[in-house]
Amino acid sequence: MFSMERLTALAAVRTHGSIARAARVLHVTPSGMSQQLAKLEREAGQRLLEPDGRTVRLTHAGRVLAAHADRVLAQVSEAQTDLAALDRQILGPLRLGGVGSAVRNLLPGALSDLLTEHPRLVPTVRDGEVVSLIPPLLRGELDLVLAESWSSRPVALPAGVRTVELLEERVCLALPPGHPRAEPSPVDLAALAEPGGLPWASCPAGTEPYEAILQALRSRGVEPDIRYTLAEIPSQLELVAAGLAMALVPDLGRRTAPEGVLFLPTDPPLRRTIKAVWRADAETPAIRACVTALTEHTDPPPDHPTEPSTRGDT
């Protein structure tokens, strides 16, 4: 392993043309400089300097190693500059994860503003469910997660994380066009469990939306028939539009609904919260800046009127 001090000495000799001049620039004695270069030659196993009249010049091996030294020293200098600037600049990687509807509707605008203000930030994004995103957050593989929590089944977050609530929205019942229960009053979810009734579409078992349906229906003494388990709300809504299923859909999810799908309030009323979640012991300026951007860019959808709605956007 070459030491930085010896690589610096070699690069200085190449730049300034002699050991004496290089020693003056580096504020060391010529004998000290010569000792460093001799040790570097032993480490390299090559002659790096050769006599050139009353001074020295680099051999071919010396020029090769000096070129590498220039690149190494430049990277070290850049690292030192970046570290010194951490309190003043937001830079480097920012690894984000989130549930699909939050990634689609909340993250793009916030990231755009964040990168405009901090162009040296390098974000990456992956989507998924809370159950699959929290473990990599705790392992340090993600920096921040956009998690959902349903009123019928609040998310259980581990100790050691911090959260900021970004959005609270209503959850509606999605029914096919022309469904006989299209009425202005809230729909009793338990009343939907009738022979020959529609099954449910939801996210896969173990996810927050799936468990929220279970809890909402079981609290009313009903075991839901969840027949379609699809990761994306738009896919669930296509089944609803085709008359194959019903679903519970937050307001953000309504923005991708096919034409004609009915959205009705529920009894009991349901809500969903979107939270930013990160490890308290791994908070960085980049995370703080991202949370600020998300907070400033969150545009909560207004509560919709109680009459049946067939509009997909909000």
Tokens at 23, concatenated: 């020693």
Residue 307 lies in a domain: no
Question: Long-range contacts: 112-117, Cβ < 8 Å, 24+?
Answer: 113/293, 113/296, 113/297, 114/90, 114/289, 114/290, 114/293, 117/90, 117/289
| pLDDT tens, residue by residue, 33-52 | 888 888 988 888 889 888 88
> Where residue 72 sits, what CATH number does that domain have?
1.10.10.10
For residue 173, which of 244, 246, 224, 105 has the smallest C-alpha distance?
246
Does residue 235 share a domain with residue 107? yes
> Where residue 193 sits, what CATH number does that domain have?
3.40.190.290
Q: Does pTM top 0.95 for this prediction? A: no
- Spatial separation of the C-alpha atoms in residues 269 and 280, rounded to whole Å: 33
If you average pLDDT over every residue of the chain, what do you get? Answer: 87
Residue 308 lies in a domain: no
The range of the structural domain enclosing residue 267 comes to 92-297
Buried b (16+ CB within 10 A) or exposed e, 125-144: eebbbbbebbeebeeeebbb
Does residue 122 share a domain with residue 33? no
With cut-offs at 50, 70 and 90, classify the pLDDT of residue 66.
confident
C-alpha dist (Å) from residue 114 to 7, 77, 118, 149: 39, 26, 6, 25
Does residue 151 share a domain with residue 58? no
> Residue 153 has what DSSP assignment?
B
Residue 306 lies in a domain: no
| pLDDT tens, residue by residue, 254-270 | 988 999 999 999 988 99
Strand duo 187-188 + 266-267: pairing: parallel
Does residue 275 share a domain with residue 177? yes
